[in-house]
Amino acid sequence: MWAPLDFSVVGSSLFISVSLTFAAVVFFFTFYSFSEEKEEQPARRMLKSPVKHEHADTMGVGKAIAVLTSGGDAQGMNAAVRAVVRVGIYTGAKVYFVHEGYQGLVDGGDNIREATWESVSMMLQLGGTVIGSARCQDFRTHEGRLKAARNLVKRGITNLCVIGGDGSLTGADTFRAEWSTLLQELVKAGAITAEEARKSSHLNIVGMVGSIDNDFCGTDMTIGTDSALHRIIEIVDAIATTAQSHQRTFVLEVMGRHCGYLALVTALASGADWVFIPESPPEDDWEEHLCRRLTETRTRGSRLNIIIVAEGAIDKHGKAITSEDIKKLVVKRLGYDTRVTILGHVQRGGTPSAFDRILGSRMGVEAVMALLEGTPDTPACVVSLSGNQAIRLPLMECVQVTKDVTTAMNEGRFDDALKLRGRSFQNNWNVYKILAHVRPPSAKSGYNLAVMNVGAPAAGMNAAVRSTVRIGLIHGHRMLAVHDGFEGLAERKVEEIGWGGVGGWTGKGGSNLGTKRTLPKKYFEQISSTIADFSIHGLIIIGGFEAFTGSLELIEGRSKFEELCIPICVIPATVSNNVPGSDFSIGADTALNTITATCDRIKQSAAGTKRRVFIIETMGGYCGYLATMAGLAAGADAAYIYEDPFTIRDLEANVEHLTEKMKTTVKRGLILRNEKCNENYTTEFIYNLYSEEGKGVFDTRKNVLGHMQQGGSPTPFDRNFGTKMGAKAVAWMSGKIKECSRHGRIFANTADSACLLGMRRRALVFQPLAELKEQTDFEHRIPKEQWWLKLQPILKILAKYKIELDTSETAHLEHITRKRVSGEGSI
């Protein structure tokens, strides 16, 4: 499993085929940008470019890479820098830091320094950018770029990785386009020799987008966006408590320049009453609508109002809508005690989220591969995230499309601006509009939908229940809440729940409905009676593996109990992320961030005491998702998981690896162990082994995290994921009930009448539960195939294990295909 790198000696050659195409995302990871259908905006055409098939650990020999961060800082930039440095060194290349962005490139000297493996240690958990960033006017001039070129040529650097926004990346492309001319001028002036110019005849450029605004077209998520959302939601949650105490209205202004992404997702994650974004200005009579909406909220018993404003918000005539304008309106017309909070640069600060750490790390790996595979004919590209894959897009095409959005807004083509932002942005906007602006109809559908939680609690369950209930009411259904899972359904713990009954649930952890692991088979008779007595026409089950297996039991019971012949929809919600049919489960992101934050504190302790190794046990059952992803996010030295079998020799190799590590300046170690990775090599066993073998070299400590991984407030990802999943499930359920309705009765007995709603790549898909049985390892309660296993090699390389990386599946270069929107030139 693991082969130690003796810092000079190559260990065993373990051949692992890794797809550096991001496998299936993140974290995380695709999250905020999943769509209900396959993404079409922007459409992309694959170029058939050759991929080099060579040993990755020798790809960079004789080459040099420089990495810089430019423009506004963003959390997660340090993760990207760390990955570029370590993967670059792994390939045999020299890697240089460029301090202070383009200014450092122009000034040269000590601003350009060679990086070492240890120099990027302890960077993952730091916000901002350790190597500095600066707005540089000098680089905008030809003379400045001439100095920058000389500084690179003198160090033999022909590969430049730029982490920044569209302005920074545009500057890099200009630099590359002028490269030959700059070299000729330098030779003519005697600043460099002809031989130096020959060796540096072309410059490869690869960009990574670091921006909290998420305003760069061509990528689903930019580095820093998720962390900024974490900061915003923390503040919104805190403000909500004081607002409720004093029955106040709060107007919160968030960043984003001309992009409303942060404001929109914040509104969804916080259950805000109203949001103003520049891409979709309100109607001319928005003042009346806003006041009516706030009044309705108070009438239902709410003691507070939350209004989110993007800093670039405008009306349909292009006039700015400011937070102060809104405050004055509310005070004048409604007399509510109103406060304004402008969040400002706090959104840029703080520790990066687990998502941004993993996103930065994965993009950094891909950026190095793109640089080393580059040729003089390869255009400057940007490494982007598209659903489940890392893709390489021509840099200037992305910049142009990004500018097209601003142009559309300036010309008043707001529908075009929304389309140009992509289908995922539109879906976020549509879900928000339904929840915030559509009222339940007076005419009812005549159908009763029940919602319940099953299995262990997971953060985000309540957000999913809230969305399910409110969207159900909007569809005209009567909504029923089932308490305590299948056991509660058998014991008739069912009650009607209304709009106000789920008020404020979005940000609450755990399960307000109550949840148990009990399976339904032994309660079939009682459950059938409850379904009949309460006239339940459809059942939405939100939970983990027990929800999946319990629903399969309900399907089996249909042959004996006709009452069970109703549509069933399962929404995966478990910290273990082990439900088949979905790349992500509600709650896994919150647990991952909890583990990562704990590991940060533990690493800090180890760094202070020196020569200390911590063994951390995570949850997950047999599923190693949490251990692997937390290992990537926290910079672990190893992650022991069931899916990647290991032996005593692997454990010995890890001890040797840490022994060598203690000889460097990084005198600490972090080992993650999934709770059921091996029945014999327990946490206690591994602790004792490390303690014995590390005597005189390092001390060992252990920490079992336990149920703290199931607690806490849900992250922005889990809140939004739960909200969207609930909305999607109700829409499906409404259609399926009508489809299965015959003469006033519901009879659902086909395979597609009992489905699991899951995220597959970037689409939400309904899959018959019966079909998912073939994809499931029931003994170990995990799917037979798990996308995140392809990230294991990256974790090992970043921990300085010498494994062989198969680069045959690295990302190809693609093009953004332009489309016309409303007759205007756009995508």
Binding site residues, as ranges?
Answer: 72, 135-136, 165-168, 211-213, 248, 255-257, 311, 339, 345-348, 517, 574-578, 612, 619-621, 675, 701, 707-710, 781
Is the Cβ–Cβ distance between 172 and 138 less than 8 Å? Answer: no
Report CA Rg, the chain.
Answer: 27
Q: How far apart are CA 183 and CA 195, in angstroms?
A: 11
Catalytic residue among 213, 215, 637, 644: 213
Cα–Cα distance list, 208 to 157, 223, 404, 420 (Å):
19, 8, 20, 20
Please report which residue ranges of 694-740 form alpha helices under DSSP H.
Answer: 716-739
Query: Which two tokens mark 280?
Result: 């979709």
Closest to 767 measured CA to CA, from 756, 778, 781, 777: 756
Cross-strand pairs, 704: 617
Residue with tokens 């709009």: 499
Cα–Cα distance list, 337 to 247, 252, 390, 527 (Å):
7, 14, 48, 49
Q: E strands within 619-762?
A: 638-640, 668-674, 699-704, 741-742, 745-746, 754-760
Output the known binding site for ATP: 72, 135-136, 165-168
Residue with tokens 């089996």: 556
Q: How far apart are CA 756 and CA 546, in angstroms?
A: 13
Is the Cβ–Cβ distance between 674 and 782 less than 8 Å? Answer: no
Query: Which two tokens mark 425?
Result: 């942005």
Residue 815: CB partners within 8 Å, gap ≥ 6? 44, 45, 47, 393, 394, 397
Task: Tally Cβ neighbours within 10 Å of residue 824.
Answer: 12
Is the Cβ–Cβ distance between 262 and 421 less than 8 Å? Answer: no
Burial 758-770 (b: 16+ CB within 10 A, else e): bbbbbbbbbbbbe
Asked if 484 is an active-site residue, the reply is no
Cross-strand pairs, 341: 252
Closest to 578 measured CA to CA, from 636, 520, 643: 643
Which amino acid is residue 221, in one-letter code?
M
Output the known binding site for substrate: 211-213, 248, 255-257, 311, 339, 345-348
Output the known binding site for Mg(2+): 166
Residue with tokens 């960079």: 60
Is the Cβ–Cβ distance between 105 and 152 less than 8 Å? Answer: yes
Output the known binding site for beta-D-fructose 2,6-bisphosphate: 517, 574-578, 612, 619-621, 675, 701, 707-710, 781
Which sequence positions are flagged as catalytic?
A: 213
